[in-house]
Structure 1
Amino acid sequence: MITYLHHRVTQALFSSGYLGSNSALLITVSGGKDSLALLKIICEISLTYKWRIGVIHCDHKWREDSKLNTYSVYDFIQDLQIPFYLGVSQYKLHTEEESRLWRYTVFFNIADQYNYNIILTAHNLNDRVETMFYNLFRGTGVTGLSSLALSKQISNNISLLRPLLSISQFELAWFCRHFFLPVWSDSTNFNPIYCRNRIRQDLIPYIKHFFNPRVEEHINSFLDKITLQNIYLNKYGNLYFRRVVHSEYLALHTISFKHLHPLMQNLVLMHLLQYLNFSGKIEKLLPYVKKFISLTQYNNSAIKYGTILMVKKKYYLYICEQRQQNN
C-alpha cells in the first residue's frame, strides 16, 4: 500500500540530486518509529527504482535492554532479507555529542567498506526544531541553526540524506500504527538528564501552550529560509577561501584575510578548520584563531590552544594538531 508519505519521501530523495539508478542506500535504524517508518518506505520504493539496500543499527550500551532492542531490529530486518550491520560501542560513551560522533563514524566506515554511496537517517521535522534550540543554547552561529539539512556531501563517494525532515512525529506515529510496525520505545528519550529531552518535553510544549501552537511549523519555515541563505553565503565563502588559502599547504594568507568582511572571515575559517578535520572544534577555535591573526606582536611566532598549534610565519598562518607520542 502506497501512502502520501511514500510520495513525500520519494520527492525529498530525488530533490537532493544524489540518487541514481545504481544507488546503494545504507539506512540507519534504531528501532524507533521514525527509523522503522523510513525503512518500510524505502524498501517499498526500492522495488521500483532497484536500489541496493542495507541496514545499520548502533548499540551504545546505555540501557539494560539495548541487546533486546538490537534483537528486535535484527528479527525485523531478517524478514525483509536485506543486509544487516551492527555497531557496538567498545568503550563508555559519556555525552550526547560523544555518542553522535561515534555513531556517525560507524555509519561512514560501514558505508565506505561495503560501497554504499547514500546514508539515510530518520531525522524528522521535530528533530530539526529541537536541534535548532539545542545549537542556539550552545551559542552557535547562523550555520549551526540549520545544521540538519536535507542532504550533505560527506566525501567524493558518500552522501548523507534526511528524507523525513518535513514530516512530523505525529505523521510517523500514524504510519507505524497503520502498518503495525514493531516500534521499540527507547527509555533514554524520557530521561531529563539529556538536554534534548528537556527541549522536547518541557520547552517546546511550553512555547506551544503560551506563545504559538504552530511554533514547529513556523520554525521549520524559518530554517528553510536560513538554509537558502547559507547555501548562497557558502558559495561565496568557497570563492574567498580559494583566494586567501594556499592551495597546497592549507595556510591562510593573513593580509588578504584581514581585508575580508567579518562574515566572510568566519566562513573562510570554518572551511579551513573543516579541511583540517577540526569540525567538532570550530565553535571554540574560531575566536582564538581570529584574535591570534589580529595581534601583530605575534608575527613569526606560535601559540598553543589545547592540542592545537597555530603558527604565524611571514604572511601565512598554519594550524595543526599535536599528537601525543606513544612511549
Structure 2
Amino acid sequence: MEKLVLQTIKKRQLLEPGDKVLVAVSGGPDSLCLLHLLHKLAPALQISLHIAHINHGLRPEAAAEAAAVKKMALQMQLPITVRRLDVKRIQRQQQLSVEAAAREGRYRILLRVARQIGAARIATGHHRDDRVETLLLRLLSGSGLDGLKGIPSKRPLAPGIEVIRPLYDVSRRQVESYCRRNHLQPLYDPSNKQPVYLRNRVRLHLLPFLEREFGPQIRRTLARTMDLLAADSSLITAWTKQAYAAAAETAENGQLVLKLDVLLALAVPLQTRIIRRALWQAGAKRITYQHIQQVLAVARSKSPAARCFVPGKIIVQREYNRLLVGYSEAEHFSGQQRVRVRLPGRTYLPWSKEWLEAEIIPRSRLTSLQAGPNAAYCAADALEQELYVRTRQPGDKVRLLGSPGSRKVKKILIDKKIPQHKRDRLSIVTNGEDIMWLGGIEIAHAYRVTPDTKQVLHLQIKSG
C-alpha cells in the first residue's frame, strides 16, 4: 500500500519536499487511511501535515466524529483545525442540493485554512472506486469528455494551492484492509447506505452487478479508461485555449465578446467548449448541455439581435457579427446583479457604469492605510477562491470597521442619507458570501489590515 501511494505521488507529481499539506479528515475509512499513510511517509517525503476537520452539522454523529479526529490528531502530535459549516445556509443562498452545498462550503473552508497556515497542498481521500463511481454517474447523466475523465489526481483550487489525491490509484478494498491491519477505527456515515442517493445506488447495486457480469477487473478497467480520456481531454483543452484566444475579446464596457465569424468557422466541439468557457468567465454556474445549445442557437440565428438568458443572471445576445456574454448595458438592470471580480484587473459594474480595479499587494509596500476616495485596503490573507461584486440584497448585514456590531446595510445607507437610486446601485465586494467592502463607504471590520497582515487587497471604483 505504501509503495503504491509513493508511486502515485511520484508519477503524478503530487508533492515536493518541504510542502506543508492540509489533510482533510472526516473520520471515515478513506480519510483515516490517507492521514495514517501520509503521517507514516512524511519523513521520507520531507513534508509536514496539518489536519482539517469540517463539522457539517447535518447528522447527530457529527460531534462524535469531530472528537474522534481530535483524538487522533493528539495521538499523532499533529496540529488540527476544526470548523463548522452551515450547509443549509449555502443551500438556501445558492439554490444547491445538500450534497452540492456541502461540497461548495467544504472546499471554501479548506482553502481558507490552507491560506491561514501556509499550506500549498490540500489532500483528500478520494480513491479509485470514487473515480469509477463518478464515471458511471456522469455517463448516466450524459456528460461529455470533460465529465467522463472523472476526478483528477490534482487540481488548482487557487493560485499557489492545489487539491491532491494520494489514494488516486488505491481501491476501496485496499483502504478497508489497510484500516484493519493498522487497527484504525473509522466512523461510517449511515447515509452512505441509503439508496435514495444516486451515487449510493451506483456503489451498492450497479458496480457489484458489473463485477458479477464482467469480472472483478472491471473497476481497474474503468479507471484506466478515465486516464485515457483525461489525456485526450488535456490535448483538446490546449486546442480550446488557442481557439478561445482567437475568438474572444473584451468590449469597452467589460463584457466578453465572441467574434462569430471566428467561432462559427470552428468545429462544433470547439464551439461548445468556447461557449462554456465564456459563460464560466462571465459568472455562470452549473452550465448544462441545454444552456450551451441555447447559446449556439443565438449564435446561428438569422436575427441580428437574438438573445437568451443563462442561470446566474447572464445575458447572451447577438449584436450582428458579435456575441455578447454578460450584462449588456445598464438598462438590463433588474434590481440585483453579481459579477466575478477580476483579480488582478478591472471589472465592469453595469448597474453603475463604473469599473472596479483590484490587485493584491504586499503589506510592506504600504506607507499609509488611507486609500483615498472610492478606494479601500482589505486584508487578503484569508480570501476565498472567488471574489464577487454585487448590488445589495434583502437582509444584508455587516459590521463596518470600528463598529461595535453588525447592522443591516439598508439601515447604514439610510443613516448616511444616501439616496434610494444610489442605494440600489451601490457596489458591494464580497469574499464568497461575506461582505468585505461597501463601495465608497467603509470596509468590514473582519477585513481590516492589522500589523499581522501580509497581503493587502487594494480596491478602487472608477468611472469611465
Same topology, TM > 0.5 = yes
- Where does residue 173 of structure 2 map in the other structure? 170
191-200 vs 42-51, which deviates more? 42-51
Residue 120 (structure 2) aligns with: 117
In structure 2, relative to structure 1, the CA distance for the partners of 1:170 and 1:162 (3 Å cut) is same
1:206 counterpart residue number: 209
**Cα 1:273/1:108, change in 2 over 3 Å:** farther
Partner of 1:262: 268
> What is the RMSD computed on CA atoms of the aligned residues?
2.1
SS at match of 1:246: strand
- 1:320 aligns to 2:326 (yes or no): yes
Asked if the contact 1:59/1:88 (under 8 Å) is kept, the reply is yes
- 2:2 and 2:37 in contact (8 A); partners too: yes
Correspondence for 2:356: none
Give 1:70's aligned residue: 66
Q: Which has the higher helix share?
A: 1
Q: How does 1:1-327 map to 2 (within 5 A)?
A: 5-17=1-13, 19-92=15-88, 94-246=97-249, 249=254, 250-297=256-303, 299-300=304-305, 302-306=307-311, 307-320=313-326, 322-323=337-338, 325-326=392-393
3-state SS of 1:22 partner? coil
Contact 1:191 1:197 in 2 (8 A): yes
The structure showing larger relative contact order (alpha-carbon pairs under 8 Å, at least 6 residues apart) is 1
Preserved contact between residue 28 and residue 188 of structure 2 (Cα < 8 Å): yes
Q: Distance in 2 between matches of 1:84 and 1:30?
A: 12
Deviations 1:23-80 (A, max 9, x none): 2211111111111111111112221233232111222222111111111111111222
Q: Deviations over 1:84-129 (max 9, x none)?
A: 1223222425432222222222222222333211111111111111
Helix, strand or coil for the counterpart of 2:249?
coil
Q: Equivalent pairs: percent with the same residue?
A: 22
Q: Please report how far the alpha carbon of residue 277 of structure 1 lies from its aligned counterpart in structure 2 after TM superposition.
A: 4.2
In the comparison of the two structures, how many residue pairs are matched? 322
Shift of 1:18: 5.1
Query: In the superposition, relative to structure 1, how do residues 58 and 281 fare at CA in structure 2: closer, same or farther (>3 Å)?
Result: farther
Structure 1 unaligned residues grouped into runs of 5+: none
**Which structure features the higher share of strand residues?**
2
SS at match of 2:188: coil
Contact 1:273 1:282 in 2 (8 A): no
Residue pair 1:252, 1:318 contacting (<8 A) in 2 also: yes
Q: What TM-score does the superposition give when structure 1 sets the normalisation length?
A: 0.90
TM-score (norm 2): 0.65
Mean Cα displacement is larger for which, 87-96 or 52-61? Answer: 87-96
Q: Secondary structure at the match of 2:152?
A: coil
Structure 1 residues 88 and 296: CA distance shift in structure 2, 3 A: farther
Aligned-pair distance for 1:153? 2.1
Paired with 1:284 and 1:102, the residues of 2 have a C-alpha distance of: 27
Letter in 1 for 2:282: L
- 1:221-280, Cα deviation, whole Å (9 max, x unpaired): 111111111111111111111111116854222220001101111222233334334353
SS of the residue 1:260 aligns to: coil
Q: 1:116 to 1:206 in 2, by over 3 A?
A: same
Q: Is the 8 A contact 1:23 1:52 kept in 2?
A: yes
CA drift of 1:143 comes to 1.0
